Amino acid sequence: MIPRRILGFHSGALGDVILLAHLLGRLRRMIDGPAAVTLAAGGEKARLLEALGVVDAAVAVESLPLETLFSEAPAALLSQRLGRHDWLVSCFAPADPAVRRRLAEACGAARADFLPVRPPAGSSKHLLDAWSGALGLDGPCVAAPWSVPRTLREAGAACLRRGGTDPSRPCAVLHPGSGSAGKCWPLERFMALAGRLEAPAVFAVGPVERERWGEAVLARLAAVAAVVEPTLAELAGLLAAARVFVGNDSGPAHLAAALGTPTVALFGPTDPRHFAPPAARAQTVTVLRAPAWDSLTVDAAAAAVRAIP
């Protein structure tokens, strides 16, 4: 039987979910004829990918009674919320094989593949390619660019206007944050870079950065231009219209690259061989690697932006 109903499952961060979405896109393109792809992920992330048309339906992981997987009690409510599918591709991979079996049974999947969230030790493969190999697929996983509907573009433009930026002029979006402080290029260098770019710079700041830096730092960023805590829909619209994106190893970098926006991704302690955003269009992703952040200069970042076609 050809699997035509695929359920992807990832409870992780935005960048991780986007990588799984690229894999799901590859699976969909392999199917000759109609196919339906559902994504179970954090609610806002899943809804964004549905709005982008990357998946056909979204399920909020936080709405699922996953505790039923860890007992022999009937999982009727979980089955109802997941729906019925032919193939489960899950990065939610409990070690207990009985729990995996119950998840596959809950969604009716005849085939279930449980994928690691990190490449195997000693591997030099990108995580996407490691996943493809685990599914028996040949060759690298090539990302296809995602289209942004007008509603999301309008949301991004409105977000810019609220921050005092004219959306009619393409800007350079700088994202100086990340879920881990150790993955962040020094903020002072981002601010210096903002003054070196031809396009007007706009800082995108999420809730993690707001809590980490406080209002005094946000005021300094706003003095340049900033959008603070945009929704993912607003962020997608903002990134789709940007001249360039510069940011750390983070979800927004993966989103920018997936939308085909020229992206300069800054990697410190994490290995871009495993986690770099895949380029949805040729020559749109530049990776700068500096295991010691002191060695990545503003000059190098500015040169990478200037080199973008």
Angle ∠(10,140,5) on CA atoms, nearest 5: 45
DSSP 3-state assignment of 208?
helix
Per-residue model confidence as pLDDT tens digits over 94-124: 889 999 999 999 999 999 999 999 988 888 9
| Overall average pLDDT of the 78-84 stretch | 96
Residue 288 per-residue DSSP state: E
Per-residue pLDDT, averaged over 140-147, amounts to: 90
Q: Which domains does the chain have, with CATH numbers?
A: 5-134 (3.40.50.2000), 150-306 (3.40.50.2000)
Overall size of the chain counted in residues: 309
Q: What does the alpha-carbon distance between residue 100 and residue 266 come to, in Å, rounded to a whole number?
A: 36
pLDDT confidence tier of residue 75, bands split at 50, 70 and 90: confident
227-282: pLDDT as tens digits: 999 999 999 999 999 999 999 999 999 999 999 999 999 999 999 999 999 988 76
Sheet of strand 201-205: strand arrangement: 226-228, 201-205, 172-175, 244-248, 263-267, 285-289
CB atoms within 10 A of CB 30: 11
Output the pLDDT for position 1. Answer: 60
